[in-house]
Chains A and B, each alone.
Chain A
Amino acid sequence: ETGVTQSPTHLIKTRGQQVTLRCSSQSGHNTVSWYQQALGQGPQFIFQYYREEENGRGNFPPRFSGLQFPNYSSELNVNALELDDSALYLCASSLDEGYNTEAFFGQGTRLTVV
């Protein structure tokens, strides 16, 4: 167990709807990253939050947005869902301490868009 928890574990949404996924980071970690893993693929970086600010973003459209709260937990919001958004969404927390930064992943949220 990594201490990173995500909710919900599974979710089914209809195309065009909006969804919010949640992540509680490991105790003491101040950085949260979100990844999308399509079936049979490696995870793709969506964005990272550090101390409540977006710290970098991958190649995802603006309808993917996020938040980080003072307790370092985080949300991933996706608007106007598309069928291709169906994937496993992984949250990873880490402690930004310079060079040695290891990310620990949660169990993921499986999103199905129909």
Chain B
Amino acid sequence: ELKVEQNPLFLSMQEGKNYTIYCNYSTTSDRLYWYRQDPGKSLESLFVLLSNGAVKQEGRLMASLDTKARLSTLHITAAVHDLSATYFCAVDVNSGYELNFGKGTSLLVTP
């Protein structure tokens, strides 16, 4: 059974600080997605990582994928309050057939 583990599950950080969210998964995959979810809302696609060593950046967020270590990271640079949300990683092991999500990391950015 595929396991997708995120850590931390809860993160409170001050504005301006940097932090990394980790996503480990238990089976071979070279496709990983990061989503953002605001309270009561749907999932917003942030990054699609399709190969080993893939790195993508958008604003203060940067995602990377190491398929050999079965690890993806989501790095937050100089956090701002607007980044407060829950972040999910999702692993695709069946070529778009099924996404396996982690439990999510609930991020709160405080002044």
B12 at the interface (CB under 8 A from A): no
Inter-chain contact count A-B, CB under 8 Å?
Answer: 63
Chain A residues positioned under 8 Å from B90 (CB to CB): 42-43
B59 at the interface (CB under 8 A from A): no
Q: Which segment of B14-22, B38-46, B69-77 sits at the interface?
A: B38-46
Question: Do residues A43 and B101 form an inter-chain contact, with CB atoms below 8 A?
Answer: yes
Provided the pairs A90-B43, A102-B33, A102-B48 are in contact, do residues A96 and B103 lie with their beta carbons within 8 angstroms? no
User: Which positions 82-103 of chain A face chain B at CB distance < 8 Å?
Assistant: 90, 92, 94, 96, 98-103
Bound complex: CA A84 to CA B4 (Å): 23
Number of interface residues of B (CB under 8 A): 25
Bound complex: CA A12 to CA B33 (Å): 32
Bound complex: CA A110 to CA B99 (Å): 20
The smallest C-beta distance from A80 to any residue of chain B, in angstroms, reads: 25
Question: Do residues B43 and A48 form an inter-chain contact, with CB atoms below 8 A?
Answer: no
Can you show 22 pairs from A to B with CB atoms below 8 A apart? A2-B42, A31-B96, A42-B4, A42-B88, A43-B88, A45-B99, A45-B100, A48-B97, A55-B97, A56-B94, A56-B97, A56-B98, A92-B99, A99-B50, A102-B33, A102-B45, A102-B48, A103-B45, A105-B35, A105-B42, A105-B43, A107-B41
